[in-house]
Chains A and B, each alone.
Chain A
Amino acid sequence: MPEPSASERSASEPGTATSGASIELENLTKRYPGSADPAVESVNMEIKAGELVVFVGPSGCGKSTTLKMINRLIEPTGGRIRIGGEDVTDIDPVKLRRKVGYAIQSSGLFPHMTVAQNIALVPKMIGWSKSRIRNRVEEMLDLVGLDAGEFQGRYPRQLSGGQQQRVGVARALAADPPVLLMDEPFGAVDPITRDHLQDELIRLQHELHKTIVFVTHDFDEAIKLGDRIAVLRERSHIAQFDTPEAILTNPADDFVSGFVGAGAALKRLNLTRVRDVEITDYPTVTVDDPLQNIFDKLRDSGTNEILLLDKRGRPYKWLRRGDMMRAKGSLARAGTLVSDTVTRDATLRDALEAVLTDNAGRVAVTGRRGEYTGVVDMETLMNSVHELLEADRLEAMEAQHELEEARALQTHAEQEGVGGEEKA
Chain B
Amino acid sequence: MTTTPEVEEEETEAAVPPTPPKRRITWQKLTFLPAALVAVLLATWLWFNQAHLDAISKNALSNGQVSKALWRHVQLTVISTFFVLIIAIPLGILLTRAAFRKAAPVAMTFANMGQATPAIGLLALLVIWLGTGEKAALIGIIIYAVLPVLSNTIAGLKANDPTLLEAARGIGMSPLGVLAKVELPLAVPLILAGVRTALVLNVGTATLATFGGGGGLGVLITTGITTQRMPVLVLGSILTVSLALLVDWLASLAELLLRPRGLEAGS
Direct chain A–B contact by Cβ atoms under 8 Å: yes
Binding site for B on A (CB under 8 A): 68, 71, 73, 94-102, 104-106, 108, 110-114, 121-122, 125, 145-146, 154-163, 171-172, 192-193, 196, 199-200, 343, 345-346, 350
Q: Which B residues from 115 to 169 make CB contacts under 8 A with A?
A: 163-164, 166-169
B64: interface (CB < 8 Å): no
Q: Which residues of A contact B263 (CB under 8 A)?
A: 111-112
Q: Which residues of B contact A101 (CB under 8 A)?
A: 171
| Cross-chain contact B166 with A193 (CB below 8 angstroms) | no
A-B CB contact pairs (8 Å), 27 listed: A68-B170, A71-B170, A98-B171, A104-B167, A108-B166, A108-B170, A110-B167, A110-B168, A110-B181, A110-B186, A110-B262, A111-B263, A121-B171, A121-B173, A122-B172, A125-B177, A145-B7, A146-B11, A154-B18, A157-B16, A157-B266, A158-B17, A159-B16, A196-B6, A196-B10, A200-B3, A200-B7
What 19 new A-B contacts, CB under 8 Å, besides A104-B166, A157-B262? A96-B172, A101-B171, A105-B163, A106-B163, A108-B164, A108-B167, A110-B164, A112-B262, A114-B262, A155-B261, A155-B262, A159-B16, A160-B15, A161-B14, A162-B14, A193-B10, A196-B7, A343-B1, A345-B1
Taken together as a complex, chains A and B put the C-alpha atoms of A222 and B266 apart, in Å, by: 35
Report the minimal beta-carbon distance from A18 to chain B, rounded to whole angstroms: 23
Q: Which residues of B contact A71 (CB under 8 A)?
A: 170
Top-10 shortest CB links A-B:
A108-B167, A98-B172, A112-B260, A97-B172, A155-B262, A102-B170, A160-B14, A112-B262, A111-B262, A158-B18
Taken together as a complex, chains A and B put the C-alpha atoms of A97 and B168 apart, in Å, by: 10
Which interface residue of B167, B171, B186, B267 has the most chain A CB atoms within 10 A? B171
B94: interface (CB < 8 Å): no
Taken together as a complex, chains A and B put the C-alpha atoms of A110 and B172 apart, in Å, by: 14
Contact with A along B172-206 (1 / 0, CB 8 A): 11100100011001100000000000000000000
| Cross-chain contact A196 with B3 (CB below 8 angstroms) | yes
Q: Which residues of B contact A172 (CB under 8 A)?
A: 171
Contact with A along B1-26 (1 / 0, CB 8 A): 10100110011001111110000000
| Cross-chain contact A160 with B16 (CB below 8 angstroms) | yes
Contact with A along B227-267 (1 / 0, CB 8 A): 00000000000000000000000000000000011110011
Taken together as a complex, chains A and B put the C-alpha atoms of A95 and B3 apart, in Å, by: 37
Taken together as a complex, chains A and B put the C-alpha atoms of A157 and B164 apart, in Å, by: 14
Taken together as a complex, chains A and B put the C-alpha atoms of A112 and B161 apart, in Å, by: 13
| Cross-chain contact A94 with B174 (CB below 8 angstroms) | yes
Taken together as a complex, chains A and B put the C-alpha atoms of A137 and B169 apart, in Å, by: 21
Given A108-B166, A156-B262, decide whether A102 and B185 contact each other with a Cβ distance below 8 A: no
Which interface residue of A112, A161, A172, A350 has the most chain B CB atoms within 10 A? A112
Report the minimal beta-carbon distance from A92 to chain B, rounded to whole angstroms: 9
Q: Which residues of A contact B167 (CB under 8 A)?
A: 102, 104, 108, 110
Q: Which residues of A contact B1 (CB under 8 A)?
A: 343, 345-346, 350
Chain B, Cβ-Cβ closest to A343: B1
Chain A, Cβ-Cβ closest to B169: A73
Chain B, Cβ-Cβ closest to A101: B171
Q: Which residues of A contact B181 (CB under 8 A)?
A: 110, 121
Taken together as a complex, chains A and B put the C-alpha atoms of A31 and B168 apart, in Å, by: 24
Taken together as a complex, chains A and B put the C-alpha atoms of A343 and B167 apart, in Å, by: 41
Given A111-B267, A196-B10, decide whether A104 and B169 contact each other with a Cβ distance below 8 A: no
Taken together as a complex, chains A and B put the C-alpha atoms of A125 and B172 apart, in Å, by: 8
Taken together as a complex, chains A and B put the C-alpha atoms of A93 and B159 apart, in Å, by: 26
| Cross-chain contact B169 with A97 (CB below 8 angstroms) | yes
Report the minimal beta-carbon distance from A83 to chain B, rounded to whole angstroms: 14
Q: Which residues of A contact B186 (CB under 8 A)?
A: 110-112
| Cross-chain contact B261 with A112 (CB below 8 angstroms) | yes
Given A158-B16, A160-B14, A196-B6, decide whether A112 and B185 contact each other with a Cβ distance below 8 A: yes
Report the minimal beta-carbon distance from A276 to chain B, rounded to whole angstroms: 16
Chain A, Cβ-Cβ closest to B167: A108
Report the minimal beta-carbon distance from A222 to chain B, rounded to whole angstroms: 20
Report the minimal beta-carbon distance from B52 to chain A, rounded to whole angstroms: 59
Q: Which B residues from 76 to 134 make CB contacts under 8 A with A?
A: none
Q: Which residues of A contact B174 (CB under 8 A)?
A: 94
Report the minimal beta-carbon distance from A27 to chain B, rounded to whole angstroms: 24
Report the minimal beta-carbon distance from A213 to chain B, rounded to whole angstroms: 13
Q: Which residues of A contact B172 (CB under 8 A)?
A: 94-100, 122, 125
Report the minimal beta-carbon distance from A210 to chain B, rounded to whole angstroms: 15
Q: Which residues of B contact A171 (CB under 8 A)?
A: 171
| Cross-chain contact A122 with B171 (CB below 8 angstroms) | yes
Taken together as a complex, chains A and B put the C-alpha atoms of A192 and B174 apart, in Å, by: 37
Report the minimal beta-carbon distance from B173 to chain A, rounded to whole angstroms: 7
Report the minimal beta-carbon distance from B226 to chain A, rounded to whole angstroms: 53
| Cross-chain contact A163 with B11 (CB below 8 angstroms) | yes
| Cross-chain contact A163 with B15 (CB below 8 angstroms) | yes
| Cross-chain contact A157 with B163 (CB below 8 angstroms) | no
